[in-house]
Structure 1
Amino acid sequence: MRTGTKLISITCGSSIRFIDSLNFIQLPLAQFSKAFKLPETKGYFPHFFNKRANAEYDGSIPEPHYYGCESMPPKEREEFLKWHDELARNNYRFKMSDEILRYCLQDVNILRKGCLKFRECFLETNNVDPFLECLTIASACNLVFRKNFLKAETIGIIPNNGYRLSDQYSTQSIVWLTWVASSTGKFIRHAGNGQEFRTKEGLLVDGYCEQTNEIFEFYGCWWHGCDRCFFNQTSKLSNKHDSLFLRLESTRSKEDRIKKAGYSLVTMWACDFEKLVTSNAELKTLGESQLLSKFTPLNPRDAFFGGRTNACKLYHKCEDGETILYYDVCSLYPYVNKYCKYPIGHPKKIYVGPEECSTVDVGTVDGLIKCCVRPPQNLYHPVLPYRCNGKLTFPLCRKCVELSLQTECRHDEVDRQFVGTFVADELRKAVECNYKVVEIFEVWEYQTIQYNKDTDTDGLFTQYVNNFLKLKQECSGWPQWCKSDEDKKRYIAQYKERENIELDESNISQNNGLRLLAKFMLNSFWGKFGQKENAHKTDIIDEPLELFKLITNHSVSVHSLTVINSDVLLATWERRQEDVIPLKTVNVAIAAYTTAAARLVLYNYLEKLDRRVLYYDTDSIIFTKKEGDWVPPVGDFLGDLTDELAEYGAGSHIREFVSGGPKNYAYEFFKAKDQTYETRCKVKGISLNYKNQQSINFENIKNLLFNEYRSCDGGDGCENQNVIKINDRRILRTQQYDVVTKNCDKTYRIRYTKRRRLPDCYDTLPYGYVDNFDL
């Protein structure tokens, strides 16, 4: 199993398996010694000196650049140079054969001892062997929950095609039937405007025209066994008692029954329909229309959005009496897992169509809601997410965000509204902020469960979180302010009062290994519920017959064949989506509830801080403060806000801030401890090592933004020509798993498209925002 060129696991036969320790212990090997209290330390080695020509080298220590010192973080580079200078001054003799053996043995020893300690801690606390039973820390967390905390009949396994088993139709069939009705003037009854029609003989059909007594059937090639698309009709499917031949025979038998009953029959195969779409502009436009999304069944994965990340102002420098604060929510996702609402079981009721959905009260229902919404026009921080152009956006107008319009919205109500599937709580918050629910198409109503501290009623994950939160706190040792026995008693009482967790005084002592394990268990837990169920698989093939079986198996799609040598190749494949078997570890509704609750926690602060917000990222927020302004309270417990600059002393604050977009910002801040100023920079996708920091830094990002504004008025079609280019020398794996040294070029530029940029300042507005409008 692999992701790109990264190997997740290799299985040989039935008893040997290789796994990647990084999927469990997400730390650099250099940090293992500190984390697990190992006596060994990872040394340095000149990887770029490791060439065939130097295999017998015996002489002075290689120059620093052979060790990749320019790619080290500044502090690590400084320590390395001290180490290297000392060895060079002492005329250290470097013999490649000895050094490479010593370095590799040390690496293996550190990895071995660290993994054994991790496994020992895991087994002791969880009764689960992570390396034997799992592939990743996320799967290990999920297994621990299922073994030790999951109650029976609590989490449902959602069927691959949802719950509407009686209405198995495709979007393509609705497009075709809508187009036929429009082009012929016939009224055709189908799932999109009512329900599929059932004849008096009991046959369920895709469409029916009463005027002409015609039945319309749309055949998905996979479901109906098209012999033009799938030549191997006897290929076995995931259901061993089924085959494409049997499906085709069943389709033909149904056709005969329809004709014998006296109906006229019109059919369309999906492969023929796809050819028709390419040659018919009207049909293609109809297929791309958002209006048809109302006809497709609710897909819970459409309600699963990620965290909310964006910059509201691209630059801000404090005025007199003003500061910029940087706050972070303490353990946001563990807080959500413990305290927030979750769906349990399967939906207790499913509402489909306008008639049934009209009885749904958005204000009280719990579950997932597929609907059409119309946002207000003057909300600085919109509530509901919308996927568009490969990004997660929060617009006030669908058309504006789709076109990335940099002008004020002039679209009508129909163009502004959009269709989405949302967690009920997030939709309720949107309605509270003047969103209008135009139409509801489908609702999965769930029974929910939530932790109640007053009644001591557990939530779905409360016991799991409490277990590892207790372990983490005890292994963190006593807080610095606990000097006396009275202080310690007060600390234990405070924690009991806030988290309802009784810390054991005898267990409170610093234990880095167990603390690290507890942290992993808290932070890596929930994501498994949102895992994609159709992961790519890779087979090592050395027999022609194996290859033939794979490429003629119609239940799988082969993505790539990589030749390793004349005898072996790698085949990467996945199951057809229609043939996927749901995983017992996945429930996307739970994942959707988790991220929606996390966004609502952040939105609570965005709403109150409003235009003072400069930047936010899932669980953190950067905002301005003047005298008399409201400031969110900070604390030390789960879900509290914490000051990201607190380690530099009380009163530390940001003085100047710049951002190039999401996951891309820098700032200059005041350090109260030593009364100095320092800069920080974070850019996704670029390793900010010593070399790169000479190019990508606070001043250069700021100058790049300033130069862009001088050369561009922020209007449509503005393309920034100001760039910073960097080059990294990296050690990489190829598709054939050769290890190579390669120079990698990257280009950094300001390219901000998630909100509308104002031309005369560094502020932004949501797409669709209008300053003055009639409510």
Structure 2
Amino acid sequence: MEKSVETTINNGNADAPIMIDESTSTEMCGDKGCEENELKISQEGSALDVSMTAEEIQEVRAFILEQKKKKQAAETRRKRSIEKSSSTLSSGSSSIKAPTAKKAQSKPNKMIGNVQRDTYDEVIESVIISPTRNEQEWKQLQNNALMPLSTVPNDDNYQVHHVNCVSALLMCSRCIGNDNWKNEKTGRCKTCGMDMPRMRTWIAADFSNPLREFLEWLINGLGKERSGKTYAISHYGGRYDMHLLLGELIKHFGIEPKITRTGNKLYEVLIKKQRNRFPYISFRDSFNWTMLKLEQLPKALALEIDEGGKSFFPHGWNFNKNMNVRLDGLPDQQYYYPDSMGKERRKKFEEWYEKSKNDPFCLREQIVEYCQQDVRILAHALVKLQRLFFELATEPSKRDDVLVNSMTIASACIRHFCINYLKENQMGIIPDNGYHRDSNQSAIALKFLRWLSHKTGLQVQHQESPEGEKRVKVSDGSILRLDGYIKNIGGVDQAIEFLGCAWHGHECLYLPHEVCLNGKTALYNKDKLYERVSLLNEEGIWTTAVWECEVMKELEEDPEMSLFFDTLPDIGPLYPRDAFHGGRTGPLALKCDLEGSDDFEISCFDVVSLYPAVNFYAFYPIGHPNILEINKDVNWTKPEDLHPYRGLFKLFIIPPDDLYLPVIPERIHGKLIFHLCHRCAVEITPGVAIRANSRYNKEIGYKWCPHTDEQRGFVSTTCSVELELALKQGYRVTKVYSIYHWEKWSDTLLRPYVQDMMRLKIEDCITSSPVELHTVLNDPKLELGAVEMLAPNLFSVPYRHRREFVRPHDKYNIAIALITTAKARIMLYDYMEKIVKEKDCKLLYTDTDSCFYVHRRGQKPPFRVGEMLGMMDREYGEWNIIAFYTGGCKQYAMKMKHKHSGEIKFIVKCRGCWDKVDSPLDFEQFKRMVEAYGEEQEPIILERTHFQPSWRRGEVTSRSQKRRYAPIYDKGIVDANFDCYPYGYRGEPLIDPTE
């Protein structure tokens, strides 16, 4: 295995980059061997030299299980009474005031300014602990023990990779600025070291552990007391190199780094500076900036560097025993793993191998040359990337160093936008959960009150009732609004109040002195609860309290209650993220074969830079919205009915039943579905391939969907730009719950930024203290993940903040993302509609920004074609597409013929499947499977050798991986003619021009 790591060193007060490249030997290792290897490494570490016996580990697990059972039992015991009341509650649900508006508050309103940190989706943090350092801490751990899970593979089909070559290139910011970094020696640079070689290499032929020697040099050899920061950057290191480094750092050096990751992908491994121990070192992944393979960087960035034949290396020959073996020619082709290559790369490899097969080969020499060349390519690429961003700055003082200040290209771009173009008070920082901090509680409260009415048969008055929520004037002159109200039960009126635990400070989340989400302490909320209940008692109303955690517990134990909740629409306050959807992808016909036909052809067009086009032309909101809490019935049937509101809407919408191209999507069974009937989409069995026995017609359409308008409708959170199109296409809005209305909009907010970018186009925490672990385990505001055993004396506890406690990021505006994706779907919809309405055209497939359709040969496209931003541009222009087959979303196969040479070419694209030369999923097999769609058929088994990184074990392994493929499309109905119709469609059947 070969990896490239680039490191930026700051030695003193200046920045300094280093390039590193690692190669690893591959040896078979079974379970027992791996366990022994881990123990050995762990025992070598001076800071982690205390191991645990198997009996001690079993004892830990017993304590863990016992403590988890005790904790679960404790959660079921809740205090349910307050003085002078049979049960208690203060008004916790969000009361909607219609139709008045209020300015959204984020306490206070926050606006996006200069970027301070990166953002990541679903970033995981965790605590890693060595629990056996002293007896007292170990006893503390036992009181809140973890359940460690073994992370050592339990099969024999894997190989462990060991680093046997590391190359590093050292350079500082001064050397980058004056181009001295290209020299072999550092010259007179004090930061890089006087007259030192820039490139260094550690190889297994000279060192027993090259990786350890490299880290020793990086941590201590460059001066562990250096005051500056070190940035070590590896290409694709987040999947490989950094895992290997992490294992060595923890097990040998005893370092407790901070880790930022998503799953097995590491964004950063950070060593914080500790006086007399470690300097500041940040390991990062350059792939997150370029999103290209290393071999693609010279061409993509127009680098002035001789690639030196960098392309192919015999990784299968890379064993330490072969290090000094000299061959008269290259190793056999099998050592290059040609079967794992894609078709194009395999062809290039065979040409290269045939030309170079007689060249002498020595692994010791070739691996050093290969690694060092990787480092040079990466160094040139990162310097070029840094300079490109410098050139984009509107003035020298606004230059931003992407290598130091960002970990991803996304964060680099948003920093560039904020520093150079964002004006004061332009973008509001929108809370991740919306402006209703108790939104989750309110939605559950309304469902619970409906469930209570359904279960008891009593008429419960609440905010969704015709008369609205109950208001009671009490003795102090105030008016209390009740979540639920039941009149005259045994001669006594009953108030049913629902309290959100996070908002009102239930003991399951807070200690008495802690501040709740409403800004008050839990003790203060409890006192106000006493006061409220007393006031209601004076009016002859008894109060029944229901806490959110109690309802959630009942939902887990009562299947009937859970099913009832699932069938109810989400009528709680507006949650902006509910409107966040991706692109529109899916087939409209599973096959189109024009073999032997000269009258028709298949074309593929895609939008030129779809999202930049949207950013360039779309209107975006300025500042914070006004919050309209409406909750009333309406009858909106045309776009004009929305005015004067503009922004985000939460409403109940009923689709038409004859619209072939639905507009508003809904996420059902974890999939984004464009449908015309909610009930039809919910009732299908996901993951099953079904094809109707007959072709579609209107009569069959009514049999497929017999549901009423109310059953076909659904609650949707959507942008006004998409809602306007929906109303134009026949949708009806019958109820509005909430609106985020922006008064100011701009179509130039992102335009300068897009112009700049188009010019370029061509947390885990580790600790040795169980006390900190105690805090994590006992914090009810965190959601804990699966606990892992990293080594016999190291445990990892992943966690993330509960949804109610997520704080908005200081560079986060979800409205921009919502409008961008919605406008992109509208732009694609416009092209789709033009194709569907054009005579002799039939739409076959769409994929976010592209359309495949069949039409008469030579027929002019029904849209404007060009290379300008937002226009449609033809793909595969030199080829005639003879046949097109698709098995669902992100899976299709094509047969093409070159217009001039007559060459036949096949393309098979299938998400999650591997493009291999010897793959059994070729065009003919794909075609047979699609033509047998809906029939019982065996899936295709795909197999490959897969590199599997593990940050838990600090290693990379190779193992054989298998995947099963079968065509499945469950986002609509497939008829006997392989045409796809949306759920709930009862309009006219499609006309196939090729028949």
TM-score scaled by length of structure 2: 0.64
Local SS of the residue matching 1:120: helix
* Amino acid paired to 1:672: K
1:449–1:226: structure 2 CA closer, same or farther, 3 Å change rule? closer
Point out the more displaced range, 437-446 or 58-67: 58-67
Once the two structures are TM-superposed, the CA of residue 420 in structure 1 deviates from its matched residue by: 0.8
Name which of 579, 583, 596 aligns with 2:822: 596
Name which of 625, 632, 645 aligns with 2:855: 625
Name which of 358, 375, 378 aligns with 1:111: 378
Name which of 965, 974, 982 aligns with 1:766: 982
- 2:387 paired with 1:387: no
Take 2:348 and 2:472, find their aligned partners in 1: how far apart are those partners?
77
Any idea what the Cα deviations from partners look like across 1:408-436, whole Å, max 9, x if unmatched? 22222222112211111212212222222
Verify the 8 A CA contact 2:305 2:377 in the aligned structure 1: no
- 2:939 paired with 1:723: yes
Take 1:238 and 1:264, find their aligned partners in 2: how far apart are those partners?
26
Take 2:665 and 2:539, find their aligned partners in 1: how far apart are those partners?
49
Once the two structures are TM-superposed, the CA of residue 383 in structure 1 deviates from its matched residue by: 1.4
Name which of 574, 581, 587 aligns with 1:311: 587
* Amino acid paired to 1:106: Q
* Amino acid paired to 1:125: L
- 2:850 paired with 1:643: no
Once the two structures are TM-superposed, the CA of residue 642 in structure 1 deviates from its matched residue by: 0.5
Once the two structures are TM-superposed, the CA of residue 745 in structure 1 deviates from its matched residue by: 0.4
Task: Find the counterpart in structure 2 of residue 321 from structure 1.
Answer: 599
* Amino acid paired to 1:20: D
- 2:344 paired with 1:75: yes
Verify the 8 A CA contact 2:437 2:503 in the aligned structure 1: no
1:242–1:56: structure 2 CA closer, same or farther, 3 Å change rule? farther
Take 2:662 and 2:369, find their aligned partners in 1: how far apart are those partners?
58
Task: Find the counterpart in structure 2 of residue 362 from structure 1.
Answer: 642
Once the two structures are TM-superposed, the CA of residue 461 in structure 1 deviates from its matched residue by: 0.9
- 2:452 paired with 1:180: yes
Local SS of the residue matching 1:690: coil
Local SS of the residue matching 2:705: coil
Verify the 8 A CA contact 2:503 2:517 in the aligned structure 1: no
Point out the more displaced range, 195-204 or 324-333: 195-204
Local SS of the residue matching 2:867: coil
Verify the 8 A CA contact 1:385 1:394 in the aligned structure 2: yes
1:559–1:254: structure 2 CA closer, same or farther, 3 Å change rule? farther
Once the two structures are TM-superposed, the CA of residue 600 in structure 1 deviates from its matched residue by: 0.9
Verify the 8 A CA contact 1:541 1:570 in the aligned structure 2: no
Take 2:777 and 2:513, find their aligned partners in 1: how far apart are those partners?
11
* Amino acid paired to 1:415: Q
* Amino acid paired to 2:431: P
Report how many residues are paired.
Answer: 681
Q: Where in structure 2 are the equivalents of 1:258-297 lying within 5 Å?
A: 259=537, 263-278=541-556, 283-291=561-569, 293-294=570-571, 296-297=572-573
Once the two structures are TM-superposed, the CA of residue 684 in structure 1 deviates from its matched residue by: 0.8
Point out the more displaced range, 26-35 or 404-413: 404-413
Any idea what the Cα deviations from partners look like across 1:420-478, whole Å, max 9, x if unmatched? 11111212212222222222222222235343xxxxxxx22112112333xx2xxxxxx
Take 1:280 and 1:74, find their aligned partners in 2: how far apart are those partners?
54
**Runs of at least 5 residues in structure 1 that lack an aligned partner in the other structure:** 452-458, 473-514, 520-536, 713-719
Take 2:754 and 2:472, find their aligned partners in 1: how far apart are those partners?
50
Verify the 8 A CA contact 2:382 2:403 in the aligned structure 1: no
Point out the more displaced range, 139-148 or 667-676: 667-676
* Amino acid paired to 2:789: V
Take 1:546 and 1:53, find their aligned partners in 2: how far apart are those partners?
46
Task: Find the counterpart in structure 1 of residue 767 from structure 2.
Answer: 541
- 2:406 paired with 1:139: no
Local SS of the residue matching 2:387: helix
- 2:757 paired with 1:468: yes
Verify the 8 A CA contact 2:622 2:746 in the aligned structure 1: no
1:643–1:766: structure 2 CA closer, same or farther, 3 Å change rule? same
Task: Find the counterpart in structure 2 of residue 555 from structure 1.
Answer: 781
Once the two structures are TM-superposed, the CA of residue 64 in structure 1 deviates from its matched residue by: 1.7
Take 2:447 and 2:627, find their aligned partners in 1: how far apart are those partners?
28
> Which is bigger in relative contact order (C-alpha 8 A, separation at least 6)?
2
Verify the 8 A CA contact 1:705 1:750 in the aligned structure 2: yes
Name which of 679, 685, 689 aligns with 2:906: 679
Any idea what the Cα deviations from partners look like across 1:593-624, whole Å, max 9, x if unmatched? 11111111111121121161011111100111
Verify the 8 A CA contact 2:441 2:499 in the aligned structure 1: no
Take 1:440 and 1:770, find their aligned partners in 2: how far apart are those partners?
27
Task: Find the counterpart in structure 2 of residue 705 from structure 1.
Answer: 930
Once the two structures are TM-superposed, the CA of residue 89 in structure 1 deviates from its matched residue by: 2.3
Local SS of the residue matching 1:150: coil
* Amino acid paired to 1:324: I
* Amino acid paired to 2:815: A
- 2:305 paired with 1:39: yes
Once the two structures are TM-superposed, the CA of residue 109 in structure 1 deviates from its matched residue by: 2.6
Once the two structures are TM-superposed, the CA of residue 312 in structure 1 deviates from its matched residue by: 0.7
Take 1:616 and 1:80, find their aligned partners in 2: how far apart are those partners?
34
Verify the 8 A CA contact 1:308 1:616 in the aligned structure 2: yes
Verify the 8 A CA contact 1:290 1:419 in the aligned structure 2: no
Any idea what the Cα deviations from partners look like across 1:364-387, whole Å, max 9, x if unmatched? 632112222222222221111111
Once the two structures are TM-superposed, the CA of residue 181 in structure 1 deviates from its matched residue by: 4.2
Verify the 8 A CA contact 2:908 2:922 in the aligned structure 1: yes
Verify the 8 A CA contact 1:393 1:754 in the aligned structure 2: yes
Take 1:364 and 1:240, find their aligned partners in 2: how far apart are those partners?
31
1:300–1:744: structure 2 CA closer, same or farther, 3 Å change rule? same
Task: Find the counterpart in structure 1 of residue 954 from structure 2.
Answer: 737
1:182–1:758: structure 2 CA closer, same or farther, 3 Å change rule? closer
Once the two structures are TM-superposed, the CA of residue 71 in structure 1 deviates from its matched residue by: 1.6
Once the two structures are TM-superposed, the CA of residue 39 in structure 1 deviates from its matched residue by: 1.8
Indicate the percent of aligned positions where both proteins have the same amino acid: 30
- 2:666 paired with 1:376: no
- 2:286 paired with 1:21: yes
Task: Find the counterpart in structure 1 of residue 391 from structure 2.
Answer: 124
* Amino acid paired to 1:362: L
Task: Find the counterpart in structure 2 of residue 507 from structure 1.
Answer: none
Local SS of the residue matching 1:45: coil
Point out the more displaced range, 41-50 or 378-387: 41-50
Verify the 8 A CA contact 1:156 1:587 in the aligned structure 2: yes
Task: Find the counterpart in structure 2 of residue 443 from structure 1.
Answer: 739
Take 1:120 and 1:466, find their aligned partners in 2: how far apart are those partners?
18
Any idea what the Cα deviations from partners look like across 1:688-728, whole Å, max 9, x if unmatched? 13233xx222222111222346xx3xxxxxxx423221111
Task: Find the counterpart in structure 2 of residue 756 from structure 1.
Answer: 973
Q: Where in structure 2 are the equivalents of 1:189-228 lying within 5 Å?
A: 189-193=461-465, 194-195=468-469, 197=471, 199-200=473-474, 201=476, 202=478, 205-209=482-486, 211=488, 212-227=492-507
Once the two structures are TM-superposed, the CA of residue 547 in structure 1 deviates from its matched residue by: 1.6
Task: Find the counterpart in structure 2 of residue 49 from structure 1.
Answer: 317
**Runs of at least 5 residues in structure 2 that lack an aligned partner in the other structure:** 1-259, 274-279, 394-398, 686-691, 693-702, 990-995
1:279–1:236: structure 2 CA closer, same or farther, 3 Å change rule? closer
Verify the 8 A CA contact 2:269 2:284 in the aligned structure 1: yes
Once the two structures are TM-superposed, the CA of residue 327 in structure 1 deviates from its matched residue by: 0.6
Name which of 876, 885, 893 aligns with 1:666: 893
Local SS of the residue matching 1:686: coil
Verify the 8 A CA contact 1:558 1:571 in the aligned structure 2: yes
Task: Find the counterpart in structure 1 of residue 964 from structure 2.
Answer: 747
Name the Cα RMSD after superposition. 3.0
Take 1:368 and 1:397, find their aligned partners in 2: how far apart are those partners?
23
1:643–1:586: structure 2 CA closer, same or farther, 3 Å change rule? same
Verify the 8 A CA contact 1:404 1:756 in the aligned structure 2: no
Take 1:185 and 1:673, find their aligned partners in 2: how far apart are those partners?
76
Take 1:340 and 1:19, find their aligned partners in 2: how far apart are those partners?
35
Once the two structures are TM-superposed, the CA of residue 337 in structure 1 deviates from its matched residue by: 0.4
Take 2:825 and 2:387, find their aligned partners in 1: how far apart are those partners?
36
Once the two structures are TM-superposed, the CA of residue 204 in structure 1 deviates from its matched residue by: 5.5
Once the two structures are TM-superposed, the CA of residue 278 in structure 1 deviates from its matched residue by: 4.9
Once the two structures are TM-superposed, the CA of residue 262 in structure 1 deviates from its matched residue by: 5.8
Once the two structures are TM-superposed, the CA of residue 682 in structure 1 deviates from its matched residue by: 1.2
Name which of 427, 430, 449 aligns with 1:158: 430
